[in-house]
A and B are shown apart, each in its own frame.
Chain A
Amino acid sequence: SAVISQKPSRDICQRGTSLTIQCQVDSQVTMMFWYRQQPGQSLTLIATANQGSEATYESGFVIDKFPISRPNLTFSTLTVSNMSPEDSSIYLCSVGKGTGEKLFFGSGTQLSVL
């Protein structure tokens, strides 16, 4: 298993500002994933964060808007840049065990943009 600490748990931000979300894992993991979840909706993968290389972004998500850092095997950050109300959502970091087998999730960051 993996214990994931994610912060902040929630924030209210002004339009045009940026927020950085931190994700700390209690063990070394190769791949970390960032998801977004709108209220009552499914989880949408934003990007895969690999240590030592640039993150791999899914269709519809770009590095300028969602820059990701992965400085070591236990830590990652996701920044939501130049925010608009459409960015209001829950952002979740997760780590995987095995190939497509199991994901462990952080508690999420609930972001509201005014």
Chain B
Amino acid sequence: GQSLEQPSEVTAVEGAIVQINCTYQTSGFYGLSWYQQHDGGAPTFLSYNALDGLEETGRFSSFLSRSDSYGYLLLQELQMKDSASYFCAAAWNRDDKIIFGKGTRLHILP
């Protein structure tokens, strides 16, 4: 089946670095993306990896390893406004359908 696994919650300190991991079912996998969702808001796109390696966008970076069926989102210089839920999402078999993981709730401590 098509599924992704990520931790339900992560806690970090303001100013620190946090990594949110995501593993996925391999068969037909096409690419991994990440979304941020604040309470009461809609998900917003953060990053996408189709190839192995690191993609950097400001304080956020995303990494993909196809051989390990694994990716992560790295958030640096954490700010209180980064408190949100983060979803990894993936497409399989080039059919444009995107499936979401269960989400990771990020708590940031002052």
- Which A residues contact B (CB, under 8 angstroms)? 31, 33, 35, 41-45, 48, 92, 96, 99-108
Contact = CB atoms under 8 A, between A and B. Distances in A.
A99 B101 CA distance: 18
Contact residues of B: prevailing secondary structure? strand
A106 B42 CA distance: 7
Interface residue tally of chain B, by bracket? 20 to 34
Interface in B11-63: 30-31, 33, 35, 41-45, 48, 50
Contact residues of A: prevailing secondary structure? strand
Nearest to A106: B42
Given A99-B91, A100-B30, A101-B50, A48 B43 contact: no
A106 B41 CA distance: 10
A21 to B, nearest CB: 14
Interface of B: 30-31, 33, 35, 41-45, 48, 50, 87, 89-92, 94, 96-103
A99 B94 contact: yes
Given A96-B98, A106-B42, 6 more contacts: A33-B98, A42-B103, A44-B100, A99-B94, A99-B96, A105-B42
